[in-house]
């Protein structure tokens, strides 16, 4: 038996033969054996084609998706470009269809020389879906659904836009509707950049933005065009104008935003838009839109006025001051909250007088310089108005102003209005208006100026030639000034009077002065609202009585009025002095009412002119004088004129007095034998016999 090698020893060892597989490892029969070395290079190269194919597939798929998305965005963007009204419609149509603007409040921040600084609060609603063409009223389908979804998503991401319009020009289209390019300029408006919200927050597919912007309005210096535009707009019931802008810049994002939203950048040049804004109904105290706008002068209501002494600091003496209050209604709807500072600039103006029969050009004469302090009153929605406190001074009299001022005073005392001219003197150009012809209102009732009149020491004589009667005596009169003039009594000195009266046999008819016919007057002015600030009052000066001074005045008195037709019953003669009568002021009593003047005037040989056809009445009166123990009562009724001096107003017209004419009076006097001069008794008897 052959020997077994040592290497072949072991249990279950199998002898290798030629048929044993070469790749079989000796370790395959040992489950706990470990790989003795790394993989071969051939196995690594076999995995590389699989990884490359995977990466290639991912890159191609990603690029395809991006390309598809990019092309889809281009298609969607081009669809917006083709269908968005904001890029193709006219600005006026865009504003009309997509923008709703509501004015909430206006506050006057400052009034400058060339314009008005306002703080405007408003609500702006924008229909963003209509602007980019994705509104629900368009076509339907998967494509439109996709477009609208992407568009709304983009609007939400954009969130808001910033609008910049450096300057806006407002022109009137109602003055020259057929030549809009030549339409007159009304305003230049400067508005800062502002942001508008684009996110829908309401059920009407619109976004809402609350704006509070400082706005500067520079009106045209041609106030004639501006007033004409206001008048025509009011008559039409709407504001017809055009708004021009050289450029409007719209950029994505809000003010101060820096980011991708700024990529949205749109410029529109030479924008022109016609606007039609209906005028809302006005308060009850103002004419409604669609009706002719009344003249400005008829809207100004003079509420109160008074004259007061005022010390002149430069001269040290007193002048005549004016205090008044007026109101002007405003056509502002109650829904508009208009705030205005109470510290508005004081507006100087000049008051001039016009003759009653004036015509253009106006021959005006300045008589007063005044200042107006306006204040807005909005606490009563039914009566919004401007209350104006007025203070001023009366200018020194001139030969030109003296007759006009006398006519104004006489008209007032006769319950007649007088034309006046108001001229603005303000240095603020935007507040300058053309001269306004207004009316100084008449009182509601004709004031009774001559409170009481009495004839004393009456003496009757026969005139020169023995054919007329003449009278001599003293007139005592009490003149009661209107309440508006009671404070100027210390400045007044009545120096001449002139009566024009009819003499009656007995007392005049019972209708009296209070029943004298008078011209129509303005209705009673309404009471001033309690909120109206009262103008400051001048302290009442303690002045001595103005001494009587000799003055020279025209001898010719006012032109007498024609005799009434028919003559009043029992009237038989007329007292008509050919010259003014010298008058003297008398001291007042302690219990005299405010505004009272006491005057005395002597008269000598004033003729009694027998009225035509009244010889029988004259004879009856003479018979009573000669043969009645009680004498004859002569009633006297007529009008008087007085000439007075006002301290401080005579520097430029020395020697001239203000004349007040047409002052009605009524009195009576008993004439008996004792009032007839003894040495003319026989002549009076002869005169009586001739009358028989």
The DSSP result for 305-374, as a single string, is: EEEEEEE-TTTSSEEEEEEEEEEEE----TTSEEEE-S-PPPEEEEEEE--TT--SSP--EEEEEEEEEE
Which of the listed residues 418, 440, 462 is the one where a domain comes to its end? 440
Residues 362 and 457 in one domain: no
Residue 502 tokens read as 């009819």
pTM: predicted TM-score of the whole model, two decimal places: 0.66
Cα 642–Cα 648–Cα 649 angle in degrees, nearest 5: 55
Residue 155 tokens read as 């609007």
pLDDT value at 133 more than 50: yes
Please indicate, yes or no, if residue 397 is contained in any of the structural domains: yes
Place of tokens 């009819």: 502
Please indicate, yes or no, if residue 75 is contained in any of the structural domains: yes
pLDDT value at 452 more than 60: yes
Taking only the tens place, the pLDDT of each residue in 119-129 is 888 888 887 77
Residues 656 and 574 in one domain: yes
Confidence category of residue 3, pLDDT binned at 50, 70, 90: very low
Residues 261 and 333 in one domain: no
Please indicate, yes or no, if residue 45 is contained in any of the structural domains: no
Residue 224 tokens read as 């004639």
β-bridge pairing 99-111 and 337-340: parallel
Whole-angstrom Cα distance, residue 134 to residue 136? 7
Please indicate, yes or no, if residue 42 is contained in any of the structural domains: no
Burial class (CB in 10 A: 0-12, 13-18, 19+), 521: middle
pLDDT of residue 534: 39
pLDDT of residue 337: 60
Residues 235 and 147 in one domain: yes
Residues 308 and 262 in one domain: no
Closest by CA to 615, choosing from 567, 673, 564, 678, is 567
Whole-angstrom Cα distance, residue 400 to residue 403? 7
Residues 514 and 460 in one domain: yes
Lowest mean pLDDT among 318-322, 339-343, 449-453: 339-343
Taking only the tens place, the pLDDT of each residue in 242-293 is 888 888 888 888 888 888 888 888 888 888 888 888 888 888 778 888 888 8
Residue 315 tokens read as 């001269």
- The mean of the pLDDT values for the chain is 75
- Biggest CA–CA distance in the chain, Å, is 221
Please indicate, yes or no, if residue 363 is contained in any of the structural domains: yes
Burial class (CB in 10 A: 0-12, 13-18, 19+), 378: middle
Confidence category of residue 29, pLDDT binned at 50, 70, 90: very low
pLDDT value at 594 more than 50: yes
Which of the listed residues 385, 417, 440 is the one where a domain comes to its end? 440
Please indicate, yes or no, if residue 26 is contained in any of the structural domains: no
Residues 76 and 202 in one domain: no
Cα 225–Cα 228–Cα 234 angle in degrees, nearest 5: 140
Do 499 and 627 form a contact (C-beta atoms < 8 A)?
A: no
Confidence category of residue 585, pLDDT binned at 50, 70, 90: very high
Residues 638 and 523 in one domain: yes
Whole-angstrom Cα distance, residue 5 to residue 18? 19
Residue 44 tokens read as 């690594």
Residue 132 tokens read as 């980019």
Confidence category of residue 524, pLDDT binned at 50, 70, 90: very low
Q: What percent of the chain has pLDDT over 70?
A: 70
Whole-angstrom Cα distance, residue 14 to residue 260? 81
Residues 96 and 164 in one domain: yes
Mean pLDDT over residues 309-338, rounded? 74
Could you list the residue range(s) of the whole structural domain that residue 191 is in?
Answer: 91-278
β-bridge pairing 160-164 and 238-252: antiparallel
- More confident of the two residues 154 and 472: 472
Mean pLDDT over residues 305-328, rounded? 78
- More confident of the two residues 344 and 188: 188
Mean pLDDT over residues 575-602, rounded? 90
Cα 457–Cα 462–Cα 463 angle in degrees, nearest 5: 105
Whole-angstrom Cα distance, residue 526 to residue 530? 12
Place of tokens 């100027």: 488
Do 421 and 359 form a contact (C-beta atoms < 8 A)?
A: no
pLDDT of residue 358: 63
Highest mean pLDDT among 112-121, 139-148, 245-254: 245-254
Whole-angstrom Cα distance, residue 540 to residue 547? 19
pLDDT value at 511 more than 60: no
pLDDT of residue 360: 55
Which of the listed residues 278, 310, 331 is the one where a domain comes to its end? 278
Confidence category of residue 188, pLDDT binned at 50, 70, 90: very high
Residues 111 and 226 in one domain: yes
Closest by CA to 428, choosing from 374, 377, 351, is 374
Lowest mean pLDDT among 228-237, 309-318, 462-471, 507-516: 507-516
Highest mean pLDDT among 8-22, 198-212, 400-414, 646-660: 400-414
Residue 406 tokens read as 């006398």
Mean pLDDT over residues 490-508, rounded? 90
β-bridge pairing 365-377 and 385-394: antiparallel
Element (H, E) at 540: none
Phi, psi angles (nearest 5°) of residue 620: -65, -40
pLDDT of residue 518: 41
Lowest mean pLDDT among 91-105, 183-197, 216-230, 387-401: 91-105
pLDDT of residue 48: 59
pLDDT value at 601 more than 90: yes
Phi, psi angles (nearest 5°) of residue 95: -65, -40
Highest mean pLDDT among 27-31, 174-178, 492-496: 492-496
Residues 543 and 652 in one domain: yes
pLDDT value at 465 more than 80: no
Highest mean pLDDT among 277-291, 297-311, 573-587: 573-587
pLDDT value at 497 more than 90: yes
Domains: count for the chain:
4
Please indicate, yes or no, if residue 36 is contained in any of the structural domains: no
Residues 356 and 492 in one domain: no
Mean pLDDT over residues 472-486, rounded? 89
pLDDT value at 113 more than 60: yes
Taking only the tens place, the pLDDT of each residue in 637-683 is 999 999 888 877 764 444 568 888 888 899 888 887 776 654 444 44
pLDDT value at 164 more than 60: yes
Q: How many CB atoms lie within 10 A of CB 365?
A: 19
């Amino acid at each position: 038996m052959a020997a077994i090698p040592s290497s072949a020893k072991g249990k279950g060892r199998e002898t290798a033969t030629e048929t044993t597989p070469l790749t079989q490892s000796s370790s395959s029969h040992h489950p706990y054996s470990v790989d003795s070395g790394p993989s071969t290079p051939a196995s690594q190269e076999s995995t590389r084609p699989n990884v490359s194919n995977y990466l290639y597939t991912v890159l191609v798929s990603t690029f395809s998706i991006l390309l598809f998305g990019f092309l889809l965005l281009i298609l969607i963007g081009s669809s917006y470009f083709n269908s968005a009204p904001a890029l193709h419609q006219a600005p006026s149509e865009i504003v009309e269809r997509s923008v709703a603007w509501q004015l909430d409040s206006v506050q006057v921040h400052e009034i400058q020389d060339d314009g008005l600084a306002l703080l405007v609060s408003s609500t702006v609603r924008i229909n963003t879906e209509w602007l980019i063409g994705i509104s629900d009223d368009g076509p339907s389908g998967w494509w439109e659904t996709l477009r609208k979804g992407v568009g709304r998503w983009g609007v939400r991401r954009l969130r808001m836009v910033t609008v910049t319009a450096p300057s806006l020009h407002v022109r009137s289209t109602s003055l020259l509707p057929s030549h809009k390019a030549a339409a007159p300029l009304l305003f230049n408006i400067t508005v800062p950049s502002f942001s508008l919200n684009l996110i829908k927050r309401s059920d009407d597919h619109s976004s809402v933005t609350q704006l509070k912007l400082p706005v500067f309005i520079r009106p045209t210096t041609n106030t004639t065009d501006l007033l004409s535009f206001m008048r025509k707009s009011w008559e039409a019931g709407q504001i017809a104008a055009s708004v021009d802008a050289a450029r409007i810049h719209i950029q994505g994002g809000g003010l101060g935003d820096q980011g991708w939203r700024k990529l949205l950048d749109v410029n529109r040049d030479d924008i022109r838009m016609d606007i039609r804004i209906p005028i809302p109904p006005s308060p009850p105290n103002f004419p409604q839109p669609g009706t002719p706008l009344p003249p400005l002068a008829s809207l100004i209501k003079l509420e109160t006025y008074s004259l007061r002494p005022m010390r002149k600091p430069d001269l040290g003496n007193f002048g005549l001051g004016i205090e008044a209050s007026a109101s002007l209604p405003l056509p502002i709807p109650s829904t508009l909250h208009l705030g205005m500072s109470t510290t508005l600039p004081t507006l100087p103006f000049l008051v001039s007088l016009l003759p009653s029969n004036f015509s253009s050009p106006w021959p005006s004469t300045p008589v007063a310089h005044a200042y107006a302090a306006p204040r807005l009153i909005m606490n009563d929605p039914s009566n919004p108005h401007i209350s104006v406190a007025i203070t001023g001074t009366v200018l020194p009299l001139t030969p030109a102003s003296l007759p006009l001022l006398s006519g104004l005073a006489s008209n007032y005392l006769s319950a007649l209005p007088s034309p006046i001219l108001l001229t603005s003197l303000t240095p603020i150009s935007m507040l300058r208006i053309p001269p306004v012809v207004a009316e100084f209102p008449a009182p509601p009732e004709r004031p009774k100026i001559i409170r009481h009149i009495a004839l004393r020491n009456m003496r009757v004589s026969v005139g020169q030639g023995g054919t007329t009667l003449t009278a001599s005596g003293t007139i005592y009169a009490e003149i009661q000034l209107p309440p508006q003039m009671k404070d100027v009594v210390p400045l007044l000195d009545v120096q001449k009077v002139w009566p024009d009266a009819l003499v009656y046999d007995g007392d005049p008819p019972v209708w009296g002065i209070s029943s004298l016919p008078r011209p129509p007057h303005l209705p009673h002015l309404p009471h001033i609202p309690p909120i109206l600030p009262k103008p400051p009052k001048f302290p009442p000066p303690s002045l001595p009585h103005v001494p009587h001074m000799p003055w020279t005045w025209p001898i010719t008195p006012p032109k007498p009025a024609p005799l009434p037709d028919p003559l009043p019953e029992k009237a038989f003669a007329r007292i008509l002095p050919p010259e003014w009568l010298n008058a003297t002021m008398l001291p007042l009593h302690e219990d005299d009412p405010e505004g009272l003047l006491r005057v005395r005037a002597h008269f000598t040989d004033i003729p009694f002119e027998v009225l035509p056809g009244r010889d029988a009445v004259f004879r009856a009166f003479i018979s009573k004088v000669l043969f009645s123990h009680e004498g004859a009562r002569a009633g006297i009724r007529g009008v008087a004129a007085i000439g007075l001096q006002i301290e401080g107003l005579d520097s430029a017209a020395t020697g001239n007095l203000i004349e007040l004419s047409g002052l009605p009076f009524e009195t009576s006097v008993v004439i008996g034998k004792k009032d007839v001069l003894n040495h003319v008794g026989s002549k009076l008897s002869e005169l009586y016999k001739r009358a028989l």
